[in-house]
Chain A
Amino acid sequence: MKKIVALVLALLMVGCAALALAEGEKVMTHEEYVAAELDSPVLVETYVQDHQSWWDNKITVYAQSEDGAYFIYEMKCSEEDAAKLVPGTKILVKGFKSAWSGEVEITDADFEILEGEPFIAEAKDVTDKLGTEELINYQNERVLFKGMTVEKYDDAGAAFAYKNAENKTDDLYFKVSKDGVVYEFCVEFYLRGQDTDVYKAVEALKVGDVVDVEAYLYWYNGANPHVIGVTPAAQ
């Protein structure tokens, strides 16, 4: 009798442990991630869309899956692994949900690469969400702003500004408007450097140009998209 009781108790213990483990390691949906408290641990499966250049064993990743997007800030990553994070790569990311100047992101993250069909998100047209409270719902997603008018960036009347005008080795800033409201966009240097098409496209902008802009909807005290494409607006 005693042996049977001991066996049952042992089985119960193992079962509980397995359940706890399973719960602790449950992959979140994007909705669950959005609902999660700041500073809580998160575990998500997603797909690399892009990343900034690797440096000092860290990499910042723009990720998106069918149900939403993530900005993964300075994820621990060796240089060897960084080369594997090509667009479309499926990854499991474990970190903490944080917010910095309004940008919701995953920090202190580790990752592993998973087997799976690659996924590249299509840019979503959110032009009509500009200036509304709904825009933030698309934070970190690959988005499109259509028919934006280039405004002068500063009192000097330039169409854009370099963060480092001397060497052109840093971000580019420019302003575009829609329906009279002006927005500031950024070509993040470590995402698209001076030799890239988009960097050159912004350098070629003139005040008054009407353009379509593709970007990851980064947030810095308001919408501050990280631009990856600028093309003349479709007529």
Chain B
Amino acid sequence: MKTRKTISLILMLALALAVLSGCHGTLVSKAVTGDGNTDVPEEFDESKKIELTFWAKNDTNVVQTAVYTQAIKDFEAIYPNVKISLRLYADYSRIYADVITNIPTNTPPNVCITYPDHIATYMTGSDVVLQLDDWMRDSRYGLGGSEVKFDAPREEEMVPEFLNECMLNGHYYAMPYMRSTEALYVNQDMVEKLGYELPDVLTWDFVWEVSEKAMEKNEDGSFKVNGQNVMIPFIYKSTDNMMITMLKQLGAPYSNENGEVLIFNDTTKSLLEEIYLHAKSRAFSTFAISSYPGNFLNAGQCIFAVDSTAGATWMGSEAPMQDIHEDQKVPFKIALRPVPQFDPEHPQMISQGPSICIFNKDDPQEVLASWLFVQYLVSNSVQLGYAETEGYLPVTLKAQQSAEYRDYLSRKGEDNTDHYFIKIEASELLMNNTANTFVTPVFNGSASLRSAAGEMVENVCKSARRKQEMNDAAIQKLYQDVRGLYRLNEIEVKQADPSGGTEAAEQTGGSSGELPGISKALLIGIPAIWVLIIAFELWEKKKAKRKN
């Protein structure tokens, strides 16, 4: 009797522990260790010497470098107690890597050009990134505040879509700096030569059809459309954007705010299969496989080149920046269009471009100086100076609506340098489609997921070129390999909000990911324990019956 009671007690305790361990379906919560709150000081002490470090990225463009250095010089003239040292990178991933390396030693820069995906990872450290809500709205030092010594934009003068992109977990952790989107740069001459009329908005089907037609060859092996031995009709620069954009346009899942990875689905599979076919015929290639789309476009060896609007100065035979020799250029009529669409009536295109974050420091004066400098970077002089170097768009309505910017836009095509028409058209594309842009959910691991999206496109293209078979098994293996390579199974998913937590699951019909191990163990263990309890009871009863 005593033994039976002991066993029952142990089993019940085990069960209680299992329940209390917090298994909630498939989601495991991770507490944020610090929200980055720092109070705005009462006053900026302009007698105190402050040194700031600013890490920025430029597009290997000396004018952009000049904009940064002039901004620093002008800011230091306004606040002589502040000295800013600039470190420039050519690559966002290098900034990211260096920041990650410096966070554990508490030595990240003060101000950093970055992407929200990266900020999500920086924020896994305690109070690393400054939360900006209170700073933006402070009456003295907030956006356009009374004590700010230059003409800074107020919050309502920021483009709301771009500002909202800098929110994580319901708070602002960055300010937008520049915005761009992707554009389709087209050799219109070749489209017409192939017997097609170029629409205002191209569909994916149109691009694939024209690209395949362009693969026809003469008897001597040269391509009919250009008479050359090289023709890659369609080249996409950023394959991560390509996959993300296609999924978004189709309303298919990619990820959600809780960090659920939803990309491994049948729509992705269909897209990869289509891409494989066009890579196999060599009608399609990527930057990673072939090189810059603009180089092929300008050499008359590409018809459809997708690249950022921030690369517009490189696109076209008359473009001010050229990366091929003069004798390789082939003159052509260039047209700019939105990226291909599945539904041309409702275009969707990605919003991209750098933002700025501030790293929290022990000295609030240092943080305030950083915040003032960030405000200076979104003031008109910097916004206009930087935006006009490429097909960027200023992130403030204040700058976009300024007389200077309107004058700049009105001079489209006046020359092939500052007013190169494709560069200005690229900015106008984003200006006219700001409401049609989208961003992807940001969470710790979203940068890896983005890389995984691109990797899948690259992989199927290489497989096609290497004459490797594409079938269901190959796709499933690709999914598995990519999950492992980018550690997507290690992304910790936030606990779902009970009021709306199943929305993502309902959208997709259930996550295609595996249950965490602890959940599996509990789902198996708890029923098993009950089976043992019931079996033991039955055995005891049988024993008692026999005795009687």
Contact = CB atoms under 8 A, between A and B. Distances in A.
Contact of A221 (B60, B62, B86, B323): B323
Nearest to A38: B465
A164 interface: yes
A170 B89 CA distance: 8
B65 A101 contact: no
A163 to B, nearest CB: 6
B466 A41 contact: yes
Contacts of A39: 462, 465-467
A108 B291 contact: no
Nearest to B299: A221
A100 B290 contact: yes
A167 B69 CA distance: 12
A83 interface: no
Contacts of A167: 86-88
Interface in B244-299: 289-292, 295
B295 A165 contact: no
A166 interface: yes
B88 A166 contact: yes
Given A39-B465, A96-B462, A164 B88 contact: yes
A106 B42 CA distance: 60
B70 interface: no
Interface in A93-146: 96, 98, 100-101, 108
A196 interface: no
B328 A221 contact: yes
A40 interface: yes
A167 B109 CA distance: 15
Given A100-B290, A166-B86, A40 B466 contact: yes
A44 B85 CA distance: 47
A195 to B, nearest CB: 17
Interface string A199-235: 0000000000000000000000110000000000000
B325 interface: yes
Contacts of A41: 466
Contacts of A169: 87-89
Contacts of A164: 60, 65, 88-90
A170 B289 CA distance: 23
A163 B291 contact: no
A196 to B, nearest CB: 19
Interface in B57-114: 60, 62, 65, 68-69, 86-90, 97
Given A164-B90, A167-B87, A221 B289 contact: no
B65 A165 contact: yes
B535 interface: no
A98 B289 contact: yes
Interface in A164-179: 164-167, 169-170
A165 B467 CA distance: 44
Contacts of B289: 98, 100
A87 to B, nearest CB: 26
Interface in B422-469: 462, 465-467
A145 B292 CA distance: 29
B536 to A, nearest CB: 53
B521 interface: no
A12 to B, nearest CB: 28
B481 to A, nearest CB: 12
Interface in A27-60: 38-41, 55-56
B462 A170 contact: no
Contacts of B325: 221-222
B324 interface: yes
A23 B36 CA distance: 61
Contacts of A98: 289
Given A96-B466, A108-B462, A163-B60, A101 B90 contact: no
A152 B362 CA distance: 48
Nearest to B467: A39
B291 A166 contact: no
A55 to B, nearest CB: 8
A40 B466 CA distance: 6
A166 B69 contact: yes
Nearest to B55: A167
A58 B37 CA distance: 38
Contacts of B87: 166-167, 169
Contacts of B467: 39
Nearest to B466: A39
B295 A221 contact: yes
Nearest to B90: A170
A169 B89 CA distance: 8
A96 B291 CA distance: 17
Contact of A101 (B89, B295, B462, B465): B295
A167 B324 CA distance: 27
Given A40-B466, A170-B90, A221-B325, A165 B62 contact: yes
A164 B465 CA distance: 36
Contacts of B323: 221
29 contacts: A38-B465, A39-B462, A39-B466, A39-B467, A40-B466, A55-B97, A98-B289, A100-B289, A100-B291, A101-B291, A101-B292, A101-B295, A108-B462, A163-B60, A164-B88, A164-B89, A165-B62, A166-B68, A166-B69, A166-B86, A166-B88, A167-B88, A169-B87, A169-B88, A169-B89, A221-B295, A221-B324, A221-B325, A221-B328
Given A96-B462, A164-B65, 19 more contacts: A38-B465, A39-B467, A55-B97, A56-B97, A100-B290, A100-B291, A101-B291, A101-B295, A163-B90, A164-B88, A165-B62, A165-B65, A166-B65, A166-B68, A166-B86, A166-B88, A169-B89, A221-B295, A221-B323
The list of the 6 closest CB pairs from A to B, nearest first, reads: A39-B465, A101-B291, A166-B88, A39-B466, A164-B88, A221-B324
